A and B are shown apart, each in its own frame.
Chain A
Amino acid sequence: MRKIIFLISLAVVSICSVTTLSAQGIQEKSLTLHHGSIKEIHSTLPTCITVANDGSDAIEIVFPANVEPYLEIEIDKRDDILSFDVIDESITHRELNAVLQKNPIRVRMSTAVLSDILNTSDMSITFEDGSVGEWFQVINTGTLFVNGEVLAAKKKIEYYNTGTFTSKIHSYNTTILCLTNTGFLYTNGYTTAKYVEQSSTGIENTDLKVACEKLSISTTGSGVIKYEGTVDDVEIVSTGRAKILTSKLN
């Protein structure tokens, strides 16, 4: 049986969009979509996302009006995915990226069940509340900046990075924290995770305070990996040039 996917395309929702002038004098288009439980965000374009948890189902999106014909903004209501992509083949990703670098797509949404972020371009995410799904995964091949006070996923937080990823979260509240990096990954803060696993072949800049049962670090890359706090079981395999600072553990 053919699977039914409900797609709300920009063409449909642009009916209820509004054009305004930004502070930089650029004509901006804003539109509001309605979906209260986005689980995944996929983006191949520069985006600035603010994730709140205020119970609203409105997703407010603002972007330069001149890129509208090339943008594809979709909500897949079956899988709860919000995605940003290029729709028109007359413009390349590179050209559209160049335009959006200075004026990225701005998104404000509310969800407490976000479980996947896939970024292949430039993205920044601000978590106002920090409540995400039980399993929260970020896959980044572009440039990603994540910030907020708390990131709270009951079971697992996973980062897979091959690009440049800066994660400035004060507290990672979860059971398992898993960091996998082949690019550049900056992670700092505190975690409540019982199990912390870090695997790197890239450049790492880690400064984490932990209180966990098991810490496992495997690296063939470089950079500085610093952990402090209490750990019952530590396992480090480092065959690269990384400086691993664990003297403040236990």
Chain B
Amino acid sequence: MKRLLIFAVSLIVAIAECSAQQSIDELLNREIDSGTTVFKMAVKRDPETGEIIKRVKEFTTTGNKQLAKEFVEAFESERDNVDGWEENRNGGVVQITAVWVNPKRIYTITVAGSALSVFTQTIYREEDKKSK
């Protein structure tokens, strides 16, 4: 019974981790595929295996307050799932940084009026010293 309970808890934690930041990713992917976009993505690979070690995405757009609002809401909906949260609101400028530990993810949103910038960084595993 105890084992079953541990398994169930582990499963719930795993599912929660998998779905963390999902709404932000979905919104990001929707916008990247939709059209008016300034988008950058870079990955760092293990030189030997080609496996992705780190992925960075940057998405910026202007003139769409509704979209900025949707992104802020998506961030806020993840607030209970994050391991770290920093929020600054100053006049019309909103900046939120959300951090997940496993795997390491740092997501930042900056909204200034209708200007929106979303920056995501995912580190799948720490780099070996020799591959740095």
Contact = CB atoms under 8 A, between A and B. Distances in A.
A247 B43 contact: no
Given A236-B37, A236-B39, A236-B40, A244 B45 contact: no
B38 A238 contact: yes
The dominant DSSP class at the B interface is: strand
Interface stretch (A148-156, A197-205, A227-235): A227-235
A244 B31 CA distance: 10
B40 A239 contact: no
Given A250-B52, A250-B55, A243 B42 contact: no
Contact of A232 (B33, B34, B35, B43): B43
Contacts, number: 57
A239 B33 contact: no
A237 interface: yes
B39 A241 contact: no
A234 B41 contact: yes
Contacts of A230: 50
B32 interface: yes
B88 interface: no
B39 A234 contact: yes
Interface in A211-248: 230-247
B90 interface: no
B36 interface: yes
Nearest to A226: B33
A241 B34 CA distance: 8
B123 to A, nearest CB: 15
A231 B42 CA distance: 8
Nearest to A217: B39
B66 interface: no
Nearest to A233: B42
Interface string B41-54: 11111000010100
A245 B33 contact: yes
Size category of the B interface is: 10 to 19
Nearest to A214: B42
A241 B35 contact: yes
B131 interface: no
A249 to B, nearest CB: 8
Contacts of B38: 236-239
A246 B33 contact: yes
A242 B35 contact: yes
Contacts of B32: 236, 244, 246-247
Contacts of A245: 33
Nearest to B45: A232
A243 B44 CA distance: 26
Nearest to B57: A234
A244 B35 CA distance: 6
A247 B45 CA distance: 18
A234 B45 CA distance: 14
Contact of B42 (A234, A237, A241, A246): A234
A237 B61 CA distance: 10
14 contacts: A231-B43, A232-B43, A232-B44, A233-B42, A236-B38, A237-B38, A238-B35, A238-B37, A239-B38, A243-B35, A244-B32, A244-B37, A246-B32, A246-B33
Interface of B: 29, 32-45, 50, 52, 55
3 tightest A-B CB contacts, nearest first: A234-B41, A236-B39, A238-B37
Given A238-B37, A244-B32, A245-B33, 6 more contacts: A232-B42, A233-B43, A236-B40, A238-B39, A243-B35, A244-B39
